[in-house]
Amino acid sequence: MLACAIAIDQDVMRHVNVRPASVSEQGVLEVLQWRASLDNPGDREALLAHPDAIALPVQQIEAGGVFVAELSGSVMGFAAILPRDDGNAELDALFVEPAAWRQGIGRALVEHCCAVARVTGAASLHVVGNPHAEGFYRACGFALLGTTPMRFGIGLLMMRDLPS
């Protein structure tokens, strides 16, 4: 794994509780996703013009692939993973409350998703990342594989090996 290049509050990371999301939290998580997405100035205009871009399908929660990060009982972020056709896993969503960025919550979610993916037999975790988050993903051990066109610009194809 690559060394972390961003400041992480290890004390916060130790106190982050990551657990499966419940269907009753869908609305709360979508609002969190909006706040986190709109805090990125490069995405704000496109998202406001296309509010349908923000959604967390209830089926994803029901399938057990959505995980919530709590700090002192408050929801501070969530992540979602999906199985891929090649037997590996895809990090489909990762959102943290903007006020809690750079405190280890995103990393705790990534590490939890890696552990879940390993248990399901995945050898790697893939993500199509926002270019603004490239440094974060690299610090979490992801390598850049290429780029792909997305609805609102270019996405970064990234992958992290999951040694057993």
Is residue 146 in a domain?
Answer: yes
Q: What is the DSSP letter of 33?
A: H
Tens of pLDDT along 99-119?
999 999 999 999 999 999 999
Is residue 1 in a domain?
Answer: no
Confidence of residue 4 (pLDDT cuts 50, 70, 90): very low
Is residue 88 in a domain?
Answer: yes
Is residue 2 in a domain?
Answer: no
Is residue 61 in a domain?
Answer: yes
The count of domains in the chain is 1
Is residue 16 in a domain?
Answer: yes
> In degrees, to the nearest 5, what angle opens at C-alpha 79 toward C-alphas 52 and 108?
150
Q: Which residues face 17 on adjacent strands?
A: 70
Which whole-number Å values give the CA distances from 89 to 6, 35, 74, 132, in the listed order?
25, 26, 27, 22
Is residue 21 in a domain?
Answer: yes
The answer to pTM > 0.85 is yes
pLDDT at 14: 61
Domain that holds residue 50: 10-161
Element (H, E) at 26: helix 26-38
CB burial of 114-139 (b: ≥16 within 10 Å; e: otherwise) equals bebbbeeebebbbbebbeebeebbbb
Alpha carbon 89 to its chain centroid, in Å, reads 13
Contact 95, 32 (CB under 8 A): yes
The encoded tokens of residue 150 equal 């997305």
For position 56, which CATH number holds? 3.40.630.30
**1 pLDDT exceeds 70?**
no
Is residue 76 in a domain?
Answer: yes
For 45, list phi and psi in degrees, rounded to 5: -60, -45
